[in-house]
């Protein structure tokens, strides 16, 4: 991962931390990330960052049959966010 990828992952964690306890629809999360990352994250960059954070078990997804995927912060992600913000 490069510095930009790290910033996008951190923006995902920050956005989910702000809404701690709530599941956030993917389009809303992407919009939140774009408020925190300049230039805006491309959809491909955002998707890669989601996969990275999910593979590290920092975030979890609920994938309903209808509607967008919803994302939430896991305890491991909250701990990682606090550690990375030091």
What are the chain's domains? 3-84 (1.10.10.10)
Closest by CA to 26, choosing from 12, 42, 38, is 12
pLDDT of residue 35: 96
Q: Is the pLDDT of residue 52 over 70?
A: yes
pLDDT of residue 1: 64
Q: What is the mean pLDDT of residues 49-59?
A: 97
CA atoms of 65 and 56, how far apart (whole Å): 25
| Residue-averaged pLDDT of the chain | 94
CA atoms of 25 and 57, how far apart (whole Å): 18
Which helix H or strand E contains 47, and what residues bound it? Answer: helix 43-55
Give residue 20's Cα distance to chain centre. 12
pLDDT of residue 47: 97
Closest by CA to 32, choosing from 52, 59, 48, 14, is 14
pLDDT of residue 2: 85
């Amino acid at each position: 991962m490069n510095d930009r990828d790290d910033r996008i992952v951190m923006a995902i964690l920050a956005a989910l931390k702000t809404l701690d306890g709530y599941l956030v629809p993917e389009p809303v999360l992407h919009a939140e990330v774009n408020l925190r990352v300049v230039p805006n994250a491309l959809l491909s960059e955002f998707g890669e960052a989601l996969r990275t954070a999910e593979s590290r078990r920092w975030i979890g997804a609920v994938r309903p049959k209808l509607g967008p995927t919803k994302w939430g912060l896991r305890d491991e992600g909250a701990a990682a966010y606090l550690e990375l913000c030091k």
